[in-house]
Structure 1
Amino acid sequence: MRAVICRAPGELALEERPEPERGEGEVLVRVRRMGICGTDFHIYEGSHPYLQYPRIMGHELSGEVLEAPGGSPLAPGDTVIVNPYVSCGTCIACRAGKPNCCVQIAVLGVHRDGGMCETIAVPERNLYPAGSLTLDQAACIEFLAIGAHAVARSGLGGGARTLVIGAGPIGLGTALFAGLAGGDVSIMDREADRLAFALKSRIAARGIGVGDGSAELLRQATEGDGFDVVFDATGSRASMESAFGHVAHGGTLVLVSVVAETIAFSDPEFHKREMTVLGSRNALRADFERVVAAIETGRVPLDHLLTHRTSLAGALADLPRWAGQKSGLVKALVEIG
């Protein structure tokens, strides 16, 4: 089979690899679509903190079943959504129904080879029927599910004054599902075109640019009270630390992004607010199902979110170019096969 390998930072190659063998409890899947994620750009650039090279990237996947175990509800030809978080099934988190934060988690395309290739073997429990979704739509479920999970973690209710910091794909997905949960959503970013996109797509009610004047705009959005729920989806330590100051008394901060650093905050500011701080990692099957339902009922503007396309061979040039030129880029899909 053909596969795109990131041999080292800044080095991609299209190689022939042996077809994977289906292990016990696994399904052989022909990969048809792969969404390019910020994680993939970080791997290419050499800034991902938890990765060993060489690596086949790709964890936002949809495909078709080639071969399934006997007795499986999946059959050859079925279109499936891939949950890329391969869990052990036995650790404390898995026993508690939280395989998204498994002690031994192996994320496709990060801890083990992913789906930037023609065929992949995946545990049956990590595949969900796509139903009426197209291959394009099915490949978008994972990144949207991260935002849906963060919103579910927050307990956000109707009318909650909500701030999402970071208007990349994860932030946009978080803002989208915060709005669907009834939040009054503001989104903040450094890039004016990302904010314009969020407003045009009706993902957020207002956009706030980072820079001079942003403090006053944030104050005006809540009449000086602060936000009931704040989500940080930037991957920036400085942003995560400053996010504490945007939370209202009695409010909640959800850290969606992760950094390989220690973050610090003022304990007096934290305590006087009686603030709730939550980490949100990956997503659960219920979040995937929530996203599927939202797409099926027309509540996700995927026509706006899917902005770029390439092929497996085309990704050799396109992925490096997009890593440095993200203007107008929201979500890019690799069409495979």
Structure 2
Amino acid sequence: MKSFIISPPFGKENLKIEEINAPLKEDGNVTVRVRKAGLNPIDYNLINGRILYNLAPIPHVPGSEIYGIVETDGKYVKAGDRVIIYPRVFDGTCEYCLSGREYLCPHGGIWGVVTNGGYSDFVSVPEKQLFKLNQQMDEDIAVSLPIGGLTAYHALKRAGAASGQSLLLYGASGNTGTFAMQIADSMGIEVYAISRNSWVREFGASGIFTPDSVPGSFKADIVINSLGSSFWEDSVRHVANGGSIVSFGVQTGRESKLDIGDLYTREIRIIGSTGGNRKELMDLIRLSERKSFKVKIAKKFSLYDLKAAMDFFETKIGGRIILEN
């Protein structure tokens, strides 16, 4: 089978397509034929050598978001089932796993980083990471749920989001942002997007601001900042008293100043959020089956045009890049 391989020196120019052996049947694992894959910041940064901690194996097959078709029967899934992969490796026995926080497992990590990923014809995956989809689920939605969709869903859950609240969203134009808008809108939350793209209104935003046009007096019950330190002071400025700031991205930087007086006098909650658990992914799949969620497609490429997709990723055009096999 064909797979993309990356090894030192890293960089998209060193990606190679190689013929490797198809995965062997392993106890507890199921072989999946890859139909679609996403190209997201995790994959882009890994290929460019910016994610080396716990990277294994090397040489490495990247690709952390996969939709595919089961090839070999498992205990719960059968050949022909449509599946997505829960993107966290976990042992299932530690205190975090046993309390439903598999994404914090100290013996795991991101699938496609601490394991070979899905930029390949086939992958072998532990069955506990596979989630079946119904026949009506759109393939572009399916491949977008495990990371972007789940990250958004978990962030809103962490914030205790509820009907009647308001949300201000930094990073609205990405896959996570478009899901955050749609999920929040489906919950009865009023959504305000920070974006220069008018199309975000189609995804549930009732108001749109550019980064420098938010009225000084504007406040939201929840502020999601998926961009990092450049927007930290704005996040604090625009969260309501007693509100929550949820952070899960460092694209514009990791370090920022914090006025602790603001924190306690206004009772602001600062919440870190990463990924999500398997129960939340199942809930998100069911929600997606009931709601008409959609994905903003920037461009589609053949899986084996990955280098061209990487070039396109660098243009920073809002929307989703999907690789098809």
Using structure 2 for the length normalisation, give the TM-score. 0.89
Q: What are structure 2's unaligned runs of at least 5 residues?
A: none
> Quick check: 1:232 aligned with 2:225?
yes
Identify which range, 237-246 or 31-40, moves more after superposition. 237-246
Shift of residue 175 of structure 1?
A: 2.0
Specify the alignment match of 1:248 in structure 2. 240
Letter matched to residue 298 of structure 2: T
- Decide whether aligned partners of structure 1 residues 3 and 276 sit closer, same or farther in structure 2, where only a CA change above 3 A counts: same
Identify which range, 120-129 or 107-116, moves more after superposition. 107-116
Specify the alignment match of 1:332 in structure 2. 321
How far apart, CA to CA, are the structure 2 residues paired with 1:51 and 1:171?
28
How far apart, CA to CA, are the structure 1 residues paired with 2:177 and 2:283?
17
> Quick check: 1:2 aligned with 2:2?
yes
- Decide whether aligned partners of structure 1 residues 141 and 242 sit closer, same or farther in structure 2, where only a CA change above 3 A counts: same
Specify the alignment match of 1:170 in structure 2. 176
- Decide whether aligned partners of structure 1 residues 172 and 135 sit closer, same or farther in structure 2, where only a CA change above 3 A counts: closer
Specify the alignment match of 1:209 in structure 2. 210
How far apart, CA to CA, are the structure 1 residues paired with 2:54 and 2:257?
25
Instruction: Quote the RMSD (CA, aligned, Å).
Output: 2.1
Cα deviation 1:20-41 (Å, max 9, x = unaligned): 2232211111111111112222
Q: Secondary structure at the match of 1:94?
A: helix
Contact 1:306 1:330 survives alignment (8 Å): yes
Letter matched to residue 111 of structure 1: V
> Quick check: 1:39 aligned with 2:42?
yes
> Quick check: 1:92 aligned with 2:95?
yes
How far apart, CA to CA, are the structure 2 residues paired with 1:40 and 1:312?
13
Letter matched to residue 198 of structure 1: V
Q: What are structure 1's unaligned runs of at least 5 residues?
A: none
Specify the alignment match of 1:139 in structure 2. 143
Percent identity reads 25
Shift of residue 57 of structure 1?
A: 1.7
Q: Secondary structure at the match of 2:177?
A: helix
Cα deviation 1:121-179 (Å, max 9, x = unaligned): 11111001111224333212212121011111111112212101112211222222122
Shift of residue 225 of structure 1?
A: 5.8
Shift of residue 262 of structure 1?
A: 4.7
Contact 1:159 1:184 survives alignment (8 Å): yes
Q: Secondary structure at the match of 2:304?
A: coil
Shift of residue 335 of structure 1?
A: 1.1
Shift of residue 258 of structure 1?
A: 4.7
Contact 1:108 1:115 survives alignment (8 Å): no
How far apart, CA to CA, are the structure 2 residues paired with 1:247 and 1:62?
37
How far apart, CA to CA, are the structure 2 residues paired with 1:298 and 1:248?
29
Contact 1:35 1:334 survives alignment (8 Å): yes
How far apart, CA to CA, are the structure 1 residues paired with 2:11 and 2:306?
15
